[in-house]
Amino acid sequence: MSATPPALDGLREQLGSLLDELTEVLAEELKALRQRDSEGLEAAAARKLELVTALETATGNYCRAGGKLDRQTLGKLERQAKACAQANRVNGGAIELNRNMAGRLLETLRGGTRTQATYGANGRLSRSGAGRPVGLA
Is 24 inside any structural domain?
A: yes
Instruction: Give the count of domains, the chain.
Output: 1
Is 1 inside any structural domain?
A: no
Instruction: Note the pLDDT of residue 111.
Output: 81
More confident residue, 73 or 112: 73
Is 81 inside any structural domain?
A: yes
Distance CA 107, CA 35 (A): 23
Average pLDDT over residues 116-134: 61
pTM (whole model) above 0.85? no
Residue 29 identity (one-letter amino acid): E
- The fraction of the chain above a pLDDT of 90, given in percent, is 46
Average pLDDT over residues 44-52: 96
Q: The domain containing residue 72 runs over which residues?
A: 7-109
State the CATH number of the domain containing residue 81: 1.20.58.300
Is 116 inside any structural domain?
A: no
Burial class (CB in 10 A: 0-12, 13-18, 19+), 117: exposed
Is 126 inside any structural domain?
A: no
Instruction: Note the pLDDT of residue 63.
Output: 82
Distances (CA, A) of 100 to 21, 60, 103, 134: 30, 38, 5, 18
More confident residue, 112 or 85: 85
Is 122 inside any structural domain?
A: no
